[in-house]
Amino acid sequence: MFCNCFGALNCFGRRDDPADQPHEQVVATKKFTYNSLRSATNDFHPSSKIGGGGYGVVHKGVLRDGTHVAIKSLSVESKQGAREFMTEIDLISNIRHPNLVELIGCCIEGSKSKYVALDWPKRAAICRGTASGLLFLHEEAQPNIVHRDIKASNILLDGNFNPKIGDFGLAKLFPDNVTHVSTRVAGTVGYLAPEYALLGQLTKKADIYSFGILMLEIISGKSSSIAAFDEDYLVLVEWAWKLKEENRLLDLVDSELSEYDESEVYRFLVVALFCTQSASQHRPSMKQVLEMLSREVHLNEKALTEPGIYKWQSTGKRGGSLNETSSQAIKHRKTENPHEAASAHFSGSDIVTEMLPR
Q: Is 149 a catalytic residue?
A: yes
Q: Report whether 191 contacts 109 (CB < 8 A).
A: no
Query: How far is it, in rounded angstroms, from Cα 37 to Cα 23?
Result: 18
Q: What single letter denotes the amino acid at residue 8?
A: A
Q: Which one from 65, 119, 149, 232 is the annotated catalytic residue? A: 149
Please answer whether residues 280 and 246 qualify as being in contact, where contact means their C-beta atoms are separated by less than 8 angstroms.
no
Contact status, residue 298 vs residue 352, Cβ threshold 8 Å: yes
Q: In terms of C-beta density within 10 A (0-12 exposed, 13-18 middle, 19 or more buried), how is residue 88 classed? A: buried
Q: List, as one string, the DSSP characters of 130-166.
A: HHHHHHIIIIISSSEEE-S---GGGEEE-TT--EEE-
Which helix (H) or strand (E) is 288 found in, with range? helix 286-294
DSSP 347: -
218 backbone dihedrals φ, ψ, rounded to 5°: -60, -40
What are the b/e assignments for 95-106, b being 16+ CB within 10 Å? bebebbbbbbbb
| Residues acting as catalytic residues | 149
